[in-house]
Structure 1
Amino acid sequence: MTERFGTAALRDELPARLGYTLPAVVAPMFLVSSAAMVEAACKAGAVAAYPSLNARTSAGFNEVLDRLDRNLEGANGAGYAVNLVTHRSNPRFAEDLEICAAHRVPLIITALGSPAPAVDAVHAYGGLVFADVNSPRLARKAAAAGADGLILVCSGAGGHTGTMTPFAFVDEVRRFFDGPVIVAGGISSGAGIHGALALGADLAYMGTRFLAARESDAVAGFKQMVAECSFDDILCTDAITGALANKLRPSIVAAGIDPDSLQSGKAFDLSALEGSVNTWKDLWSAGHGLGAVTGSEPVGEIIATLKDEFAAATRRTRRWTAAA
């Protein structure tokens, strides 16, 4: 008999526990997600995640959480999340985890490593740990390590990506995991959110749709490129960071690199975030949902549109349910 992991009851508790009115998470985006973006998204009813490494220092990260706690208290919105990179090359992990515990961050999202180093500390104050995974093997390992939920990074995700379709990935994970599941990968509309739930997920993970938002920390050139590019401008490669990622080909060209000469096999390493060619800063990422972005909008307006689209998709599905 296959060993099962996760708690099914947590799926029912999650909306009240995290306070969202749209089953979506504004994904953490390196050098893009800002405190203002997280704050606006939470107030509009979506969970939003801040990457701890977007603050240049742990002290700066603590200041961001101070701001979020202060401005979201009593706002009657969704809770926020923090993305922690648990890869052994991240020199700030331990200190940033302590800061999260001090602020009792409701949801910790681990990435690029096992969730195990975060589980005990987060559970001690009553928080949740969701692990970012891109294969069933890693999903099972994360579940066994004590993750409360899983974020399935499917083909089409912006930044670091996966290779499986959500149809196969969710189905396979549900064979051994009963807890909350979030689906990432090319979701850019309310209909896409509805589709993720129909597959058996609990929330959708959305990053690319918010890249050009008014509150985004993306530089002006990045926002313009996102609005002007399409799927044909995306290059999937592991040659930039050592992890498979979807990158905007024009940004690679602008950095003076021939996209067709890139070679895979680079070891993933966070120990030096700055470099002569700053691969983290100048080579921009975007997912398959790129086509939905046509300009810069406030986060609140984007979420309002997604809510309308989600409601319309729900109504369409109800017609089929009634006919059955």
Structure 2
Amino acid sequence: MLPAILQNLRIPVVASPMFIVSGPELVIAQCKAGIVGSFPALNAREKDGEPALLESWLTRITEELDRHNQANPDHPAAPFAVNQIVHRSNARLERDIEICHRHKVPIWITSLGARPEVNQAAHDCGGIALHDIINNMFAKKAIEKGADGLIAVAAGAGGHAGPQSPFALIQEIREWFEGPLLLSGSIATGRAVLAAQAMGADLAYIGSPFIATEEANAQPEYKQMICDAGAMDIVTSSLFTGVSGNYLAPSIRNAGLDPDDLDSADTSAMNFSQGASKAKAWSQIWGSGQGIGAVRDVVPAATRIDRLASEYADAKRAICG
């Protein structure tokens, strides 16, 4: 059984937190349209000496969703989530945990390490903790350390994708775990959302299609590249962050590199002390999952979610008669 906070969504979808791209505008639009919106805490970056931007982002999101709910009691907004990068180089982690705890963030998403104290902070303020994993071993460790649910990041996902087939990954996790399970990896249509559920996941975890939305904090060229590209244009490399990830080959070529002949890097290259492990030299290397062949235009986030909802309903009718 899903926690109450993940029930009653318009469609069973959580929007994944994307580096730079996800901000208050996108999160608010996603939640108002009926799916969980999310952003990485590290996206809220202020200059030295300035007040914590994360504070103002959380205040804005909470207040705007509250106003929406008061005006639309029959169609309340979905809850939102904040992603914490739980890596030893993230010097902001303790501060950001305290801010999220004070603002009673309802859903916490943790990445790059399972930490019991982060899960406890989520529980202390009435929230739930979901941890993203790429294999069954990491899944078991996350639950042992207090996570409430899992995000299975399978092959084809954007960002730091895992190498395993979603069929294999979901199958192994469901042999022992009955709690909340989300699936990430090339999900870009309502039909794919239903397929994720048929496989055993409770919800779909969708990122790349939301890059091509009006509210996304992405350059116009990035949004257009998402619309123009397909699965064959995605390259997997560890060069840019130290962890294997999926990127748009045209953006790699634009940076003067050959996407078919990239060096590799190990995890020592990861450094979140300045907000991200991506060095300035790679700022124009753009991440994406393999599902973008279904994305052909830049639209408001609500329009993209309307399409997902319609496709999801059509797929259900087609399969269930």
Q: Deviations over 1:168-191 (max 9, x none)?
A: 111100112111000000000001
Q: Deviations over 1:57-95 (max 9, x none)?
A: 371111110100100015211000001100111111111
Amino acid paired to 1:179 = G
Decide whether the 8 Å contact of 1:235 with 1:249 is kept in 2.
yes
Structure 1 unaligned spans of 5+: 1-8, 320-324
Decide whether the 8 Å contact of 1:42 with 1:79 is kept in 2.
yes
Q: What's the counterpart of residue 48 of structure 1?
A: 37
Q: Secondary structure at the match of 2:260?
A: helix
Q: What's the counterpart of residue 27 of structure 2?
A: 38
Within 1, Cα distance between the matches of 2:258 and 2:279? 14
TM-score by length of structure 2 reads: 0.92
Amino acid paired to 1:213 = T
Amino acid paired to 2:161 = T
Q: Secondary structure at the match of 1:73?
A: helix
Instruction: Please report how far the alpha carbon of residue 261 of structure 1 lies from its aligned counterpart in structure 2 after TM superposition.
Output: 3.7
2:48 maps to 1:59? no
Identity of aligned residues (%): 40
Q: Deviations over 1:234-291 (max 9, x none)?
A: 1011121011100111111212223334222332222245799525631100101111
Within 1, Cα distance between the matches of 2:117 and 2:253? 38
Q: What's the counterpart of residue 220 of structure 2?
A: 220
- CA gap of 1:243–1:117, structure 2 versus 1, over 3 A, is farther
Within 2, Cα distance between the matches of 1:47 and 1:162? 22
Q: Secondary structure at the match of 1:289?
A: helix
Amino acid paired to 2:22 = S
Within 2, Cα distance between the matches of 1:310 and 1:248? 27
Which residues in structure 2 correspond to 1:250-265 (within 5 Å)? Answer: 250-265=250-265
Instruction: Please report how far the alpha carbon of residue 112 of structure 1 lies from its aligned counterpart in structure 2 after TM superposition.
Output: 1.1
Q: What's the counterpart of residue 193 of structure 1?
A: 193
Alpha-carbon RMSD across the aligned residues, in angstroms, is 1.7
- CA gap of 1:276–1:106, structure 2 versus 1, over 3 A, is closer
1:297 pairs with 282, 296, 299, which one?
299
Which residues in structure 2 correspond to 1:1-324 (within 5 Å)? Answer: 9=1, 11=2, 13-16=4-7, 19-57=8-46, 59-74=52-67, 75=69, 76-266=76-266, 267=268, 268-273=270-275, 278=280, 281-319=283-321
Within 1, Cα distance between the matches of 2:172 and 2:231? 27
Amino acid paired to 1:33 = S
TM-score by length of structure 1 reads: 0.91
Q: Give the paired residue count.
A: 308
